[in-house]
Structure 1
Amino acid sequence: MDILTSKENGILTIAIDRLDKKNALTAAMYQTMVDAIKDAEADASVRVIMFVGKPQIFCAGNDIEDFLKNPPNSPASPVFQFLWQISHASKPLVAAVSGAAVGIGTTMLLHFDLVYAADNARFSMPFTQLGLCPEAASSLLFPQLAGYQRGAEKLLLGEAFDVNEALAMGLVNKILPAEELLAFAQAQAAKLVALPAASIRITKQLMKGTQTAAVEAKMTQEISHFGEMLKAPEAKEAFTAFFEKRRPNFGQFN
């Protein structure tokens, strides 16, 4: 299994376990995570949902081959179902991030409540470099979080940034030595488990407030553009260059 799930002491842990492919996500992996979150939301014994990767890498984004075979071209696609689940989860979402978090590996974190990162963590949202546009409502949430100019720099250029920048922009709560990350994140999750579930749920609901509707609207808008751009020549050039291990030539397009 590329996604491992376990329940213990009120915490559902969803572990991305595909190190040979740098924890790149397939449609089947998204569906497994969707099902796990749905089960957790319906299970009163689960008080917190925690996501972890591997010590070497959190998530390299989408598996390109699978992505092209199963393009996310509708709200029913597993990737968009996953985004809907994490953006609407009533229970706290906690992430422990080690190594690289690429594309959706970064944008998913915008929907989490607590994000703890190892000192080797590195983030990127290289959508424009693939001839695409942002997803996961990141075009709304990231500029809100980081400020417009810093958000624009990361989303327009698509360049990677380190964990210190992520902390300064508010994407992560705390930086820890890699060997201490998981234990710390688990301890923080355990604190949430020990608190009244209704208080946690309502507090989260109040903080999300009316933003939920704005997130839904932005995701819908992004999905529309994303689907069209996926079929455009720029994306074809980007993915062809990826497989040919060369730099894409976007200068040929207006």
Structure 2
Amino acid sequence: MEIQTTKAGGILTLEFNRAERKNAITSAMYQAMADAINAADADAEVRVILFCGKPEIFTAGNDLDDFLKTSPDAPIADRPVFRFMHALSHCNKPVVAAVTGAAIGIGTTMLLHCDLVYAGDNAKFSVPFAQLGLCPEFGSSLLLPRTAGHARAAEKLMLGEAWGVQEAYDMGLISKVLPAADVLAHAQAQAAKLVALPAASIRATKRLMKSGREALQAHIDVESKMFGEMLMGAEAKEAFTAFFEKRKPDFSKFA
């Protein structure tokens, strides 16, 4: 299974399990995670959801081959990636992430919707949407400036360059930096602490902390519409063509 699911001790663990493709996420993987999150939210036995990848890679983000196979006529909100992010952003239970290696694109975006994020000293982050002729996704253009401040967020979202784990910690993106070998065990221990606490209190605390969810959803809707339009645009076509041709894209001909 490319998304390995394990339920034990009140924790549902969702593990990216496609190391041969750097844990790049396909539509089937997004749908599997969406279904798992929705089921967990309704399952009294699950008190915490935990995401993890492999020691060397969290996720390389979208599998572009698979992503571009989706019919361009399909409404953007019907794509499995949108179902996954809707499930994650609306999840009522605490979500913990254990990040080692690179978290690229949606691999970083999804962390903005998690509650506790623990990262290894080998972790790197990037949101390279502008480099692909696209715009930010799933509330990142709202949440990242809110977390890190406008200037830092603009640098990350506009230039799309990767940044390291210490800067991610300084920006408030992650909860704690640990040696890579210790990240998963620490995240599991923190998740176990949450399991032992009153479930209703934890859900209420999360709900209060996420109070502005309606405004966030409205922002995501605007982003999604713009993302869908830009995905069909000439700049995105040039970016994706260059990616598959293994060359540097040329955006100089676009106004």
Bucket of the pairwise TM-score, normalised by the shorter protein: over 0.9
**Paired letter, 1:118:** G
Question: Is residue 2:247 matched to residue 1:253?
Answer: no
TM-score by length of 2: 0.98
Which range moved further: 70-79 or 219-228? 70-79
For residues 244 and 64 of structure 2, the distance between their equivalents in structure 1, rounded to whole angstroms, comes to 9
Post-superposition Cα deviations, 1:113-161, rounded to whole Å, max 9, x if no partner, equal: 0000000000000000000000010000000000010011100111100
State the Cα distance separating 1:74 from its structure 2 match: 2.1
Look up the equivalent residue of 1:44 and give its one-letter code: A
Give the direction of change, closer, same or farther, for the CA distance of 1:133–1:114 in structure 2 (3 Å limit): same
Q: Tell me how far apart the structure 2 counterparts of residues 63 and 114 of structure 1 sit (CA, whole Å).
A: 26
| Cα deviation digits, residues 226-250 of structure 1 (max 9, x gap) | 1111111100100010011110000
TM-score by structure 1 length? 0.98
The corresponding residue for 1:58 is: 58
Please name the residue that 1:164 is paired with. 166
- Offset, 1:77: 1.5
After TM superposition, list the pairs within 5 Å mapping 1:134-145 onto structure 2. Answer: 134-145=136-147
Task: Tell me the alpha carbon deviations over residues 155-206 of structure 1, each in whole angstroms, 9 at most, x when there is no partner.
Answer: 0111100000000000000000011111100000000000000000001101
CA RMSD of aligned residues (A): 0.8
3-state secondary structure, aligned to 1:136: coil
Shift of 1:214: 1.4
Q: 1:221 — aligned with what? A: 222
Distance 1:114 1:48 in 2: 11
For 2:179 and 2:152, the matched residues in 1 are separated by 26
Residue matched to 2:186 = 184
Cα distance in 2 for residues equivalent to 1:150 and 1:220:
24
Map residues 29-108 of structure 1 onto 2, 5 A cutoff. Answer: 29-70=29-70, 73-108=75-110
> How far did 1:73 drift?
4.1
**Aligned residues: percent identity?**
64
Query: Unaligned regions of 5+ residues in structure 2, if any?
Result: none
Aligned residue identity for 1:29 = M
Mapped partners of 1:202, 1:84: distance in 2: 19
Question: Unaligned 5+ residue runs, structure 1?
Answer: none
SS in structure 1 of the partner of residue 78 of structure 2: coil
Whole-angstrom distance in 2 between the partners of 1:38 and 1:149:
35
